């Protein structure tokens, strides 16, 4: 069955008020920090998510959870710095505020499988990774800066000058796994910033910077050949990687190596809080 939310964001707000007063008859007992994210999610209109993601659901079967509620709930978990879906599902069952602020009824919240099913609908690819899991090991170690603040040495001094012309020619195709993610980001967040005058596309000043995103303490890989049994312990044949999209990099701020991704973000440099315009998430 296709997700349907005829009431939109107003329906979410009405349901939240009725449920909130039921569980919290004296709202002033809540601390100011709690009210900060209540206000943020009260105005966070994600109702377009239901229509954007309709094509990801079947017309048959039981009625699904509203995609807007699933996305709002996940964003709330990130706001509270909860990265484990298992822990978050338990918190939804134990804390009425988290459930009703997500858009669910307390006692009727989604499970772990429902969240991962929602993630698989957003990521439009059968594989969880962009890179193949079986590949040759990287023999050359990532060079590090000579002193604090030095960036990883670049192969070419003109790399940055080639980036923007490349993005101007690059058109994201619908079959790209990131297509729906960028569509949600543009219509639900970036367009809202433009509509409210927070970002002016006609007078756009961009600033870009990168940051490391750590995923593990070490690289997980295993042999898929029998060279070790034959007495060769240092062969260069393919390995099976559990996180093939990650790589080793040098963190110039902390002066240490890290394993994970690299997030490069373009922001509107003149806007309040440097609002994001375009993110690049790569190895």
Query: What is the per-residue pLDDT across 228-271, written as a single tens digit (0 to 9) for each?
Result: 888 887 788 888 888 888 888 888 888 888 899 989 888 998 87
Q: Is residue 70 situated within a structural domain?
A: yes
Domain boundary among 122, 145, 166: 122
The conformation of residue 171, written as its DSSP 8-state character, comes to -
Q: Residue 134 CB: number of other CB atoms within 10 A?
A: 13
Q: Are residues 180 and 224 in the same domain?
A: yes
Q: Are residues 108 and 188 in the same domain?
A: no
Structural domain range at position 180: 134-153+174-282
Instruction: State the total domains in the chain.
Output: 2
Q: Is residue 165 situated within a structural domain?
A: no
Q: Is residue 90 situated within a structural domain?
A: yes
Classify 10 as helix, strand or coil.
helix
For residues 75 and 44, the answer to whether their CB atoms sit within 8 Å is: yes
Residue 247 backbone class (left: φ over 0; alpha: ψ -120 to 50; beta: rest): beta
Classify 222 as helix, strand or coil.
strand
pLDDT digits over 106-156, tens only?
999 999 999 999 999 998 888 888 888 888 887 676 777 666 666 655 555
81 — pLDDT class (breaks 50, 70, 90)? very high
Phi, psi at 233, each rounded to 5°: -95, -5
Q: Is residue 203 situated within a structural domain?
A: yes
Q: Is residue 158 situated within a structural domain?
A: no
What's the pTM value of the predicted model, to 2 decimals?
A: 0.83
For residues 260 and 246, the answer to whether their CB atoms sit within 8 Å is: yes
Q: Is residue 259 situated within a structural domain?
A: yes
């Amino acid at each position: 069955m296709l997700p349907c939310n005829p009431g939109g964001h107003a329906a979410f707000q009405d349901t939240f008020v009725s449920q909130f007063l039921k569980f919290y008859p004296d709202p002033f007992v809540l601390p100011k920090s709690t009210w900060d994210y209540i206000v943020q999610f009260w105005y966070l209109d994600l109702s377009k998510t239901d229509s954007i993601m309709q094509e990801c659901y079947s017309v048959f079967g039981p009625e699904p959870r509203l995609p807007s509620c699933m996305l709002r709930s996940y964003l709330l978990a990130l706001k509270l710095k909860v990265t484990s879906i298992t822990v978050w599902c338990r918190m939804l069952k134990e804390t009425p505020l988290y459930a009703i602020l997500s858009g669910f009824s307390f006692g009727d919240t989604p499970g772990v499988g429902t969240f991962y099913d929602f993630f698989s609908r957003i990521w439009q690819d059968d594989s969880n990774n962009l890179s193949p899991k079986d590949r040759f090991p990287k023999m050359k170690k990532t060079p590090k800066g000579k002193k604090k603040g030095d960036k990883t040495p670049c192969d070419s001094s003109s790399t940055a000058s080639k980036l923007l012309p490349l993005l101007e020619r690059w058109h994201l195709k619908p079959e790209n796994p990131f297509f729906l993610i960028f569509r949600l980001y543009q219509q639900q967040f970036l367009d809202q910033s433009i509509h409210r005058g927070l970002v002016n596309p006609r007078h756009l000043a961009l600033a870009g910077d990168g940051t490391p995103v750590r995923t593990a303490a070490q690289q997980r890989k295993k042999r898929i050949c029998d060279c070790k049994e034959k007495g060769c312990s240092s062969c260069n044949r393919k390995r099976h990687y559990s996180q093939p999209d990650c790589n080793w990099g040098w963190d110039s701020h902390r002066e240490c190596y890290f394993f994970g991704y690299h997030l490069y973000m373009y922001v509107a440099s003149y806007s309040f809080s440097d609002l994001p315009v375009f993110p690049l998430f790569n190895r």
